[in-house]
């Protein structure tokens, strides 16, 4: 089995769905995929920009390590706050819905009935479902928050898990373009960072294709294209700044 095939098989086994519409681990997959991609692209772009402006491998290495740490902490904090905020919004909506169900259950039942009617159910079918939902207070609260507001704790995940997975994923991605500068200098390290990052971006795209069910070559190539475009822009800017500084 090829490396790509082995990677796809491993990824699929970790996230094997229970059904055709399940996306297990979605709350973790998003920050992991985002972190890997963002870490690789942002640090590759940083290294390409600094490398275009300076031939000092030590300076480029310091910039790469600083970019790794700054980006990893920023990603982790951003993901934690984002998911934590979603949970706080959900907590408020649950509290509000409990109050509304106690104060005016008939009005809430009418809202839910209208929601089901708008989805094509007959009045009798909607009445039956609403009656059964309203029979249990906790079921009613959960149903109203999900159907009326569109929030669900199951799809949010843990803020700690999201933050931690983002930190680790970004660090791993950002480490890719740094590795060549740990073992080489000059042009060898520069081209090594570019080549290794290209391979990593393609691998991430191909792995993601197992979840999106898109052709792995297409998704991998798209990932590489976008990443190299960012690196090319920063390289051009870095080269221009380097020439300006030397005047």
21 occurs within a structural domain: no
Last residue of a domain, one of 137, 155, 173: 155
142 occurs within a structural domain: yes
Residues 97 and 80 in one domain: no
The contacts of residue 96 (CB under 8 Å, 6+ apart) are none
Whether the Cβ atoms of residue 213 and residue 23 lie closer than 8 Å to each other: no
Residues 169 and 70 in one domain: yes
114 occurs within a structural domain: yes
* CA separation for the pair 5, 48 (Å, rounded): 30
Whether the Cβ atoms of residue 95 and residue 170 lie closer than 8 Å to each other: no
Residues 195 and 233 in one domain: yes
3 occurs within a structural domain: no
State the pLDDT at residue 14.
47
State the pLDDT at residue 7.
46
State the pLDDT at residue 100.
86
Last residue of a domain, one of 131, 155, 179: 155
Predicted TM-score (pTM) of the model is 0.76
The mean pLDDT of 179-185, rounded to a whole number, is 94
Q: What residue numbers bound the domain in which 121 lies?
A: 90-155
State the pLDDT at residue 224.
94
Residue 154's pLDDT band, with cuts at 50, 70 and 90, is low
Record the tokens describing residue 232, joined without a space.
């090319």
The contacts of residue 156 (CB under 8 Å, 6+ apart) are 27, 83, 86, 87, 90
* CA separation for the pair 37, 207 (Å, rounded): 12
Residue 4 has pLDDT above 70, yes or no: no
197 occurs within a structural domain: yes
Domain count of the chain? 2
1 occurs within a structural domain: no
The contacts of residue 138 (CB under 8 Å, 6+ apart) are none
Last residue of a domain, one of 155, 190, 207: 155
4 occurs within a structural domain: no
Residues 99 and 149 in one domain: yes
Residue 141 has pLDDT above 50, yes or no: yes
Burial of 26: CB neighbours in 10 Å, binned 0-12, 13-18, 19+: middle
The mean pLDDT of 124-139, rounded to a whole number, is 89
Q: What is the mean pLDDT of the chain?
A: 85
Angle between helix axes 26-53 and 57-103 (nearest 10 degrees) is 150
Record the tokens describing residue 197, joined without a space.
């990052």
* CA separation for the pair 149, 176 (Å, rounded): 41
Longest CA span, the chain: 81
127 occurs within a structural domain: yes
Residues 117 and 228 in one domain: no
* CA separation for the pair 126, 146 (Å, rounded): 16
State the pLDDT at residue 28.
63
Residues 170 and 234 in one domain: yes
Record the tokens describing residue 149, joined without a space.
């507001």
Residues 173 and 74 in one domain: yes
State the pLDDT at residue 27.
56
Residue 76 has pLDDT above 60, yes or no: yes
From residue 235, alpha-carbon distances to 118, 123, 244 in Å are 54, 63, 14
The 10s digit of each residue's pLDDT in 11-70 is 454 444 555 545 445 556 777 888 899 999 999 999 999 999 988 999 999 999 999 999
Angle between helix axes 186-212 and 216-246 (nearest 10 degrees) is 150
State the pLDDT at residue 24.
47
The mean pLDDT of 80-99, rounded to a whole number, is 88
Residues 150 and 171 in one domain: no
Residues 226 and 185 in one domain: yes
Whether the Cβ atoms of residue 113 and residue 134 lie closer than 8 Å to each other: no
State the pLDDT at residue 152.
72
Residues 204 and 184 in one domain: yes
């Amino acid at each position: 089995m090829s490396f790509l095939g082995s990677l796809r098989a491993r990824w699929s086994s970790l996230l094997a769905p229970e059904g055709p519409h399940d996306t297990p681990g979605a709350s973790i997959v998003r920050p992991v995929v985002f972190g890997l991609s963002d870490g690789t692209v942002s640090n590759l772009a940083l290294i390409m920009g600094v490398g275009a402006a300076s031939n000092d491998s030590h300076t480029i290495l310091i910039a790469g390590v600083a970019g790794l740490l700054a980006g990893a902490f920023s990603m982790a904090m951003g993901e934690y706050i984002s998911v934590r905020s979603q949970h706080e919004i959900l907590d408020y909506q649950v509290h509000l819905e409990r109050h509304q169900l106690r104060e005016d259950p008939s009005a809430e039942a009418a809202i839910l009935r209208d929601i089901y009617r708008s989805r094509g159910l007959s009045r009798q079918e909607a009445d039956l479902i609403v009656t059964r939902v309203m029979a249990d207070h906790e079921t009613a609260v959960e149903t109203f928050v999900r159907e009326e507001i569109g929030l669900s704790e199951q799809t949010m995940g843990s803020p700690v898990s999201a933050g931690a997975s983002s930190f680790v994923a970004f660090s791993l991605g950002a480490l890719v373009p740094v590795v060549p500068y740990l073992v080489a200098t000059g042009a060898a390290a520069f081209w090594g960072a570019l080549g290794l990052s290209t391979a990593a971006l393609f691998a991430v795209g191909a792995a993601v294709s197992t979840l999106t069910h898109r052709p792995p070559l297409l998704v991998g190539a798209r990932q590489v294209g976008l990443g190299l475009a960012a690196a090319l822009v920063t390289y051009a800017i870095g080269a221009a700044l380097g020439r300006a500084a030397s005047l």
